């Protein structure tokens, strides 16, 4: 990957006690208004002009920028591979990493990197903003500065948060438990099925019991083989057999995230169950997650979900859709055996689901 490197505070680098690598992928945070009033990406080497208080932080900062900052709606598997590669390549040189990313697909990217970066023992903090950094009431300054502080936070020389996270509007969330729920308010992200890892106020309060423990004996390994032959099928009242069959028979399809109602319920019509069973017999994996924000699938709790269990649909328990679809992409790229993919879907790889 050809990326741009900008070092900040280099003259003071030897006197700084901590170091952070910022990976700028794009998004609202890194934009400014041009003369015509349009939002355009600014040169991230000028970040100290936008947030001069960064000079006072006891952190040596390096910025690596994507050659062309992207709108997060355009994120692809290749971008995930680039992010993981940059972290892996620079892992030993920094105390932590901050990924500046557009909010629309941040939860997808944070989920995927939590799987790809195996053996991670340093903070990787995704953050962004609802308003550009040049706006008067921008949330960008607070989100960036607090993310930098969390990325370097240590107790007894060890990182407090050695996992992939999302920080937004005072809350630090596990990356693969986060979900974007707002587009017009600053509290854009929630984690309904898992408690926040930290909350920032006058001080940053860490919920140490919720944070993944440090596994210092492990070395970082990146797993970059991915497979995107998956789809998300959201059920709705009145969905037809033609729609279901058309989607289940897409050429090359390997897996489906089935968004069901409530605690994992679906239509119980014979044609619907028959269509699912035919797909499963062809080797297509179907993973059941709830449409509800904060929902948990309990297949068999109601009669309408018992048949899903009988035909071979896998329960996604309390995974978000973002964590489920990226987990399928990851496992399909990593495992050669269908049975291994199925087995690993049922266990947590990076804290994305409850036991």
Q: What is the pLDDT of residues 70-107, one digit of tens each?
A: 888 999 999 999 999 999 999 999 999 999 999 999 99
Residue 210 is encoded by which pair of tokens? 């919720």
The strand pairing partners of 258, in sequence order, are 233, 288
Which of 3.40.50.40, 1.20.120.450, 3.40.640.10, 3.40.50.2020 is the CATH number of 230-346? 3.40.50.40
In the chain, CATH 3.40.50.1170 covers 4-222
Query: Which fold does the domain 4-222 belong to in CATH?
Result: Rossmann fold (3.40.50)
Torsion angle (degrees, nearest 10) of CA 301, 302, 303, 306: -40
Tens-place pLDDT, residues 273-290: 999 999 999 999 999 999
Using 50, 70 and 90 to split pLDDT, how confident is the model at 297? very high
Out of 14, 17, 25, 28, which one is annotated catalytic? 28
Three-state DSSP class for 175? helix
Task: Look up 28 and say whether it is catalytic.
Answer: yes
* CB 311, CB 277: distance < 8 Å: yes
Q: What is the pTM of this model?
A: 0.93
Listed residue (208, 203, 172) closest to 190, CA to CA: 172
Q: Is the pLDDT of residue 195 over 90?
A: yes
In the chain, CATH 3.40.50.40 covers 230-346
Residue 183 is encoded by which pair of tokens? 């587009």
Q: Is 146 annotated as a binding residue?
A: no
Out of 62, 103, 127, 317, which one is annotated catalytic? 103
Q: Is 138 annotated as a binding residue?
A: no
DSSP E strands, 115-234: 117-118, 124-127, 154-155, 158-159, 164-168, 171-174, 179-180, 189-190, 198-200, 204-206, 221-222, 230-234
d(CA 183, CA 140): 15
Three-state DSSP class for 74? helix
* CB 60, CB 20: distance < 8 Å: yes
Q: Is 17 annotated as a binding residue?
A: no
């Amino acid at each position: 990957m050809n990326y741009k490197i900008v070092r900040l505070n280099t003259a003071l680098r030897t006197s700084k006690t901590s170091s952070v690598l910022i990976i700028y992928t794009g998004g609202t945070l890194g934009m400014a208004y041009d003369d015509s009033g349009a939002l355009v990406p600014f040169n991230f080497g000028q970040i100290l002009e936008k947030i001069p208080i960064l000079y006072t932080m006891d952190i040596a900062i390096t910025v690596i920028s994507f050659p062309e900052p992207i709108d997060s709606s355009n994120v692809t598997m290749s971008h995930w591979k680039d992010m993981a590669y940059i972290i892996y390549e620079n892992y030993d040189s920094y105390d932590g990493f901050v990924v500046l990313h557009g909010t629309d697909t941040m939860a997808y990217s944070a989920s995927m990197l939590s799987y790809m970066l195996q053996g991670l023992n340093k903070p990787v903090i995704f953050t962004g903003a609802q308003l550009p950094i040049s706006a008067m009431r921008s949330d960008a300054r607070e989100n960036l500065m607090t993310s930098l502080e969390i990325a370097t936070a240590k107790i007894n020389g060890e990182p407090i948060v050695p996992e992939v996270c999302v920080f937004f509007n005072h809350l630090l969330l596990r990356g693969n438990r986060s979900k974007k729920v707002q587009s017009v308010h600053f509290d854009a992200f929630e984690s309904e099925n898992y408690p926040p890892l930290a909350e920032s106020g006058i001080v940053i309060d860490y919920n140490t019991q919720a944070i993944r423990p440090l596994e210092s004996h492990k070395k970082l390994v990146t797993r970059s083989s991915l497979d995107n032959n998956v789809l998300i099928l959201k059920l709705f009242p009145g969905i037809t057999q033609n729609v279901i069959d058309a989607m289940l028979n897409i050429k090359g399809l390997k897996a489906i995230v089935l968004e069901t109602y409530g605690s994992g319920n679906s239509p119980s019509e014979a044609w619907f169950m028959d269509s699912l069973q035919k797909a499963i017999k062809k080797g297509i994996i179907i993973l059941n997650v709830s449409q509800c924000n904060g929902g948990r699938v309990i297949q068999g709790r109601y009669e309408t979900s018992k048949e899903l269990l009988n035909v071979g649909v896998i329960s996604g328990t309390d995974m978000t859709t973002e964590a489920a679809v990226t987990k399928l992409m990851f496992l399909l790229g990593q495992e050669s055996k269908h049975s291994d993919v199925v087995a690993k879907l049922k266990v947590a790889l990076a804290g994305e689901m409850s036991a």
